[in-house]
Amino acid sequence: MSAALFDSTFSSERAGAGTLLVIDATPVKWSLPATRVLSITTPTNWPDRVSSLDVLLGGEHSDQDAHVVVLKSSFGNCAFSTHHILHLQTFEPNSFLPLPTLVFEDSENHPIRFVIFQNELGPVIVLDVDRLFQLANITAVGCRPT
């Protein structure tokens, strides 16, 4: 396992297979495949409004989001903001456990795909970038294609 803190920029080239960008929204740890992350910037570097990832995932909105994460989905690129701490973590490929479809009312459209129990600090929930993109559009919280 490896971990690195980010403050302003990040390149997906630094991330290999099985590496996730972990968003530590204690007690929940969300994560995104690092290969889908195009860049991480500060909100001041981003001129327009972006979706709040924290709100999209059921958390609280913060006026002081620290990061803007630009993601590559199958439908286009999209930017999300979060005030939580980000770090990279590499997981064994066989630790990605599919989440049972029973868990959700509408599993087809839900952005949670996998859960990882490997982390001693609690489970890490893996998000599907394409579904996240669709969810942002459906809920119209300001997803901005780049």
Partner 1 sequence: MITVQSLRLLLLASCVREVLGTKEWFPIPGARQEIPGVVGWGHRAVAMLDLARLVPDLRPLQVGEQRSRLLVLQVGESRLAVPADSVSSIIDIDTDTIHARSVTAFPLSRSEVRVGDEVLPLFEPALILEGA
Closer to partner 1 by CB, 114 or 133: give it.
114
User: What does DSSP say about strands 19-25 and 67-73: parallel, antiparallel, or unpaired?
Assistant: unpaired
For partner 1, which residue of 87, 110, 131, 144 counts as binding (CB under 8 A)?
Answer: 110
CB of 31 to partner 1, least distance (A): 13
- Tell me the residue length of the chain: 146
x/- letters, 1..30, toward partner 1 (CB under 8 A): --------------------------xx--
Residues that bind partner 1 (CB under 8 A): 27-28, 57-58, 94, 97-105, 110, 112, 114-115, 117, 122-123, 125
